[in-house]
Structure 1
Amino acid sequence: MERSFAELSFENAVDPALAVEAGSGRILAVNDSARRLFAAGADLEGGLVVELFPGQVPALTVFTEAVLHKGRYATRALTPRRVDGGAEALECLGTVIAGASVPTVLLSFSDLDARRQRDLDADAEDHMRGGIAEWRRTERLFQEIERGSQLILRAAGEGIFGVNDEGRTTFVNPAAESMLGWEPGALVGRDMHACVHHHRADGSHYPHQECPIYAAFRDGSVHHVENEMFFRKDGTGFWVEYTSTPIRDRGRLAGAVIIFRDVTARHEADEKLRAALAEVDSLRERLQNENAYLQEEIRSERSHRGIIGSSAAIQGILRQVELVARTDAAVLITGESGTGKELIASAIHEASERGARPLIRVNCAAVPRDLFESEFFGHVKGAFTGALRDRLGRFELADGGTLFLDEVGEIPLELQGKLLRVLQEGELQRIGEERTHHVDVRVVAATNRDLRREVREGRFREDLFYRLAVFPIVSVPLRDRLDDVPALALHFLAMAERRLRTSGLKLSKSNVMRLCAYDWPGNVRELQNVIERAAILARDGRLAIDLPGLPQPAPKDTSHLVPTGVLLTETDRRERDRAALIAALEAASGRVSGPGGAAELLGLRPTTLASRLKKLAIDPRGYR
Structure 2
Amino acid sequence: MGRLVGAVVLFRDIRERKRAEQQLRDALAEVESLKQRLELENEYLQEEIKAELNHRDIVGNSPAVAKLIQQIELVAPTSANVLISGESGTGKELIARAIHAGSTRSDRPLIRVNCAAIPRDLFESEFFGHVKGAFTGAVQDRPGRFELAHGGTLFLDEVGEIPLELQSKLLRVLQDQQFERVGDNRTREVDVRVIAATNRELRDMIDAGHFREDLYFRLNVFPIDSVPLRKRIEDVPLLARHFLQRACLKFNKPGVRIPPAQLEILQRYPWPGNIRELENIIERQVIVTQDRRLMFDDLLSGEPSRSMGRAQPMPTLRHTGGEQSKATLLTEQALSQRRRASTIAALEQARGKISGTGARQNCLVLNPLRWPRG
Conserved in 2, the CA contact under 8 Å of 1:403 and 1:443? yes
Q: How big is the shift at 1:498?
A: 1.2
Structure 1 residues 349 and 77: alpha-carbon distance in aligned structure 2, compared to 1, 3 A threshold: closer
Contact 1:381 1:390 in 2 (8 A): yes
Match of 2:267 among 497, 502, 516: 516
Q: Give the corresponding residue for 1:416.
A: 167
Shift of 1:306: 2.2
Which of 326, 338, 354 is matched with 2:77 structurally? 326
Q: TM-score w.r.t. structure 1 length?
A: 0.41
Counterparts of 2:243 and 2:298, CA distance in 1: 16
Instruction: Give yes or no for the alignment of 1:539 onto 2:290.
Output: yes
Per-residue CA shift, 1:158-193, capped at 9, x if unaligned? xxxxxxxxxxxxxxxxxxxxxxxxxxxxxxxxxxxx
2:211 pairs with 1:451: no
Counterpart Cα distance in 2 of 1:477 and 1:77: 102
Q: Alpha-carbon deviations, 1:471-522, whole Å to 9, x = none?
A: 0000000000011000000010111111101211001112101101100000
Change (3 A) 1:439 1:76: closer
Distance 1:539 1:374, change over 3 A: same
Structure 1 residue 77: Cα displacement: 4.9
Give 1:316 deviation, angstroms. Answer: 0.1
Task: Please say if 1:365 is aligned against 2:120.
Answer: no
Measure, in 1, the Cα distance between the counterparts of 2:242 and 2:285.
14
Would the alpha carbon gap of residues 511 and 548 (structure 1) be closer, same or farther in structure 2, given more than 3 Å must change? closer
Q: Is the 8 A contact 1:383 1:432 kept in 2?
A: yes
How much does 1:391 deviate?
Answer: 0.9
Whole-Å separation in 2 of the counterparts to 1:496 and 1:413: 41
Distance in 2 between residues matched to 1:363 and 1:403, nearest whole Å: 11
Aligned partner of 2:88 among 324, 327, 337: 337
Q: Quick check: 2:258–2:295 contact (8 Å CA) kept in 1?
A: no
- 1:311: Cα distance to partner? 0.4
Match of 1:468 among 195, 209, 219: 219
Corresponding residue for 1:242?
Answer: none
Shift in CA distance, 361/77, structure 1 to aligned 2, threshold 3 Å:
closer
3-state SS of the aligned residue for 2:113? strand
Q: Deviations over 1:592-615 (max 9, x none)?
A: xxxxxxxxxxxxxxxxxxxxxxxx
Given that residues 82 and 195 in structure 2 are in contact (C-alpha distance below 8 angstroms), is that contact kept between their aligned partners in structure 1?
yes
Contact (CA 8 Å) 2:129, 2:145: kept in 1 or not?
A: yes
In the alignment, is residue 347 of structure 1 matched against residue 88 of structure 2?
Answer: no
SS in 2 for 1:481: helix
Aligned AA (2:170)? L
Which residue in the other structure is 1:434 paired with?
185
1:540 shift after superposition: 1.9
- 2:140 partner amino acid: R
- Counterpart residue type for residue 383 of structure 1: A
Task: State, as a whole percentage, how many aligned pairs show the same letter.
Answer: 59
Ranges of 4+ aligned residues in structure 1 off by more than 2 Å: 75-78, 544-552
Tell me, yes or no, if the aligned pair for 1:518 and 1:550 is still in contact at 8 Å. no
Question: Which of residues 139, 148, 152 in structure 2 aligns to 1:388?
Answer: 139
Distance change (3 Å), C-alpha of 1:401 and 1:546: farther
Name the residue aligned to 2:57.
Answer: 306
Q: 1:537 to 1:427 in 2, by over 3 A?
A: same
Closer, same or farther in 2 for the Cα pair 1:547/1:396, shift >3 Å?
A: farther
Q: Residue type matched to 1:441 in 2? A: V
Instruction: Pick closer, same or farther for the CA change 1:414–1:513 going to 2, 3 Å.
Output: same
Q: Which residue of structure 2 aligns with residue 399 of structure 1?
A: 150
Q: Which TM-score applies when normalising by structure 2?
A: 0.67
Which is richer in strand? 1
Distance in structure 2 (CA, Å) of the matches to 1:306 and 1:317: 12
Q: CA RMSD in A?
A: 2.9
Per the alignment, do residues 451 and 77 of structure 1 end up closer, same or farther by CA in structure 2, a change over 3 Å counting?
Answer: closer
Alignment match, 1:528 = 279
Letter in 1 for 2:221: V
Is the CA contact 2:262–2:297 (under 8 Å) kept in the aligned structure 1?
no
- Indicate the residue corresponding to 1:505 in structure 2: 256
Q: Shift in Å at residue 543 of structure 1?
A: 1.4
- Contact in 2 for aligned 1:325/1:351 (Cα 8 Å): yes
1:76-87 pair list within 5 angstroms = 77=3
Bigger radius of gyration, 1 or 2?
A: 1
Partner residue in 2 for 1:63: none
CA shift for structure 1 position 76: 5.3
Aligned to 1:378: 129
Consecutive unaligned residues of structure 2, counting only runs of 5 or more, are: 5-31, 304-374
d(CA) in 2 for partners of 1:472, 1:451: 12
> Residues 505-554 of structure 1: CA distance to partner in whole angstroms, max 9, x if unpaired?
001112101101100000000000010011011112121326555379xx
Q: Does the Cα contact within 8 Å between 1:377 and 1:431 map onto a contact in 2?
A: yes
The question of whether the paired residues in 1 share the 8 Å contact of 2:253 and 2:286 is answered with: no
- What does 1:196-211 align with in structure 2 at a 5 Å threshold? none
- 1:259-279: per-residue Cα shift (whole Å, max 9, x none)? xxxxxxxxxxxxxxxxxx9xx
**CA deviation vs aligned residue, 1:293-332 (integer Å, no higher than 9, x gap):** x69x97xx53xx5211010000000000000001110000
Contact 2:129/2:142, CA 8 A, preserved across alignment: yes
1: distance between equivalents of 2:262 and 2:2? 117
CA distance in structure 1 between the partners assigned to 2:172 and 2:2 by the alignment: 82
In the superposition, relative to structure 1, how do residues 77 and 436 fare at CA in structure 2: closer, same or farther (>3 Å)? closer
Partners of 1:544 and 1:391 lie apart in 2 by 51
Provide the rounded CA distance (Å) in 2 between the counterparts of 1:442 and 1:327.
Answer: 10
Q: After superposition, give the CA deviation of every residue in 1:93-127 in whole Å (9 maximum; x if it has no partner).
A: xxxxxxxxxxxxxxxxxxxxxxxxxxxxxxxxxxx
* 1:34-88 Cα shifts (integer Å, max 9, x gaps): xxxxxxxxxxxxxxxxxxxxxxxxxxxxxxxxxxxxxxxxx8559xxxxxxxxxx
Note if 1:494 corresponds to 2:225. no
What is the alpha-carbon distance in structure 2 between the residues aligned to residue 328 and residue 349 of structure 1?
A: 10
Structure 1 CA distance for aligned equivalents of residues 2 and 221 of structure 2: 95
Closer, same or farther in 2 for the Cα pair 1:76/1:441, shift >3 Å? closer
Q: Note if contact 1:363-1:407 (Cα within 8 Å) is conserved in structure 2.
A: yes
**Distance in 1 of aligned mates of 2:76 and 2:94:** 14
CA distance, structure 1, for counterparts of residue 121 and residue 297 of structure 2: 42
CA distance in 2, matches of 1:551, 1:386: 48
Letter in 2 for 1:407: E
